Structure formats: C-alpha cells, structure tokens
Structure 1
Amino acid sequence: MIIENGEAKTHVIDGSSSRKILGMGGTLMMVEVTFRKGGVGEVHSHDKHEQVSYIVKGSFEVRVGDETRILKAGDSFYAGYNVLHGVKALEDSVILDVFNPFREDFLEDQQ
C-alpha cells in the first residue's frame, strides 16, 4: 500500500480535529490526527487495541494511565490494552497514531 498524504481522505472528527488513514496492512493501521489549539482527544481506553503515538508537530498535554506530561514534536507514548489515555493540543498540532489491530470503526467512518 502506498498513500500520498494529499490524496488521503480526511475525516472530520469535530470542530477542532480531523484524521487521515495513512497506512494499513496486516493488523496495523497508521493514522494522522490534526488538532487545532485547544482540541481534545477525550480520555478513553481500548480493550481490543494497542496504540503507540508520535508527536509530529506542536505540543500536547498527554495523559497515559495515571501520568500526565507535556509532549512536543519528536516525543511519543504507548497506551496498551485498557490503559486510559487522552490528549489536549496546546497549539496547532499533529499526532501520528499506530494501532494494532487496525481500527475497523475508522474504516466505517471513511465510507
């Protein structure tokens, strides 16, 4: 699978965030999520997915489990099964999320 970012379909999540599926194969999925300053990825957990995330641009207040930290471009975090996690964009920011297995709900949103 080869995907050019400019050709990937954008899914609007809410008024301050959107996502693009940039890669998928086997059990993996890579998703670029763009946030405007103040945008929030609500605290949640996944019982069927592991997630590793990389801050591409900007900065976030990130919660993983009981820990909250400020992460900036180049930083990353891992949220395993059933681990609470969430983000708040401190400026216009981009995060790259990788899921295992892939998020079927994201595929449904693309239709």
Structure 2
Amino acid sequence: MSEFPVVSTGENVTRQVLSDHPELMVVAFRFGAEGAIGALHNHPHIQSTYVESGKFRFTLGDEEREVGPGDSFVIPSEMTHGCVCIEPGTLVDCFTPRRDDFL
C-alpha cells in the first residue's frame, strides 16, 4: 500500500502517487463514474499512460482516441491532453521527471 494520500482532483476522480524518485513518478488516477473528467492540461513532463481498467476517450493534441484495459501510450512534453471516462476505471501514469506538484 502506498504511503501517499489519495487526493481528489475533480468530481469522481482521485489521484494517488504510488512511487517516486526525482527522475520518475508513478501515479494512479481512479475514475469512479461515467462522465468523470480529466481536464485538458499540459506540463513539461513526458508522461506514459497505462489503462489498468475502464474505458476512456482521450484528447491528445488535435487527436481523439478511445482506450481500454491494456492500452498504453506516451504523451510528449507540453502536449495538451485530457480525458472523459466512458466506463469507470484506473489509469496508471508515469512522469519523467517526477511531478513535484503532486507531492
């Protein structure tokens, strides 16, 4: 079990850091209901996302794609991205370098 707290990031969405190091961070985002939103944003970190469970519609720059369990992809630095939950589930994101704003 992670020593890090579960933090609400929006309606029916939580974030929990699972592990971290100055050069890498692993974070679980849990979406508890259809329609829950991961707001559009960008950041300087390179991000990889793995869909542990659920289904999501992602916006990645000018592209939209639906993803489900077992899917993964990389989001380049500064690319605007976000998602809408289609079926409740969990995304596991890795960031390099770590997201100090999550600590």
Gaps of 5+ in 2: none
Q: Deviations over 1:45-104 (max 9, x none)?
A: 11x211110000010001112110110010012111111111111011100010011111
2:20 pairs with 1:15: no
Unaligned runs of at least 5 residues, structure 1:
none
1:100 matched residue in structure 2: 96
Match of 1:10, as an amino acid?
Answer: V
Answer with 1 or 2: which has the greater Rg. 1
Mapped pair 1:65 → 2:61: yes
Mapped to 2, the partners of 1:25 and 1:105 lie a distance apart of: 13
Counterpart position of 1:49: 45
Instruction: Give the number of aligned pairs.
Output: 102
TM-score by length of 2: 0.91
Q: CA RMSD in A?
A: 1.3
The letter for the 2-side match of 1:50 is I
1:33 counterpart = 2:29: yes
Q: Distance in 2 between matches of 1:22 and 1:61?
A: 24
Give the structure-1-normalised TM-score.
0.85
- Find the aligned partners of 2:9 and 2:21 in 1 and give their Cα distance: 23
Runs of 4+ in 1 over 4 A off after TM superposition: none
Aligned counterpart, 2:80: 84
CA–CA distance in 2 between the matches of 1:87 and 1:31? 16
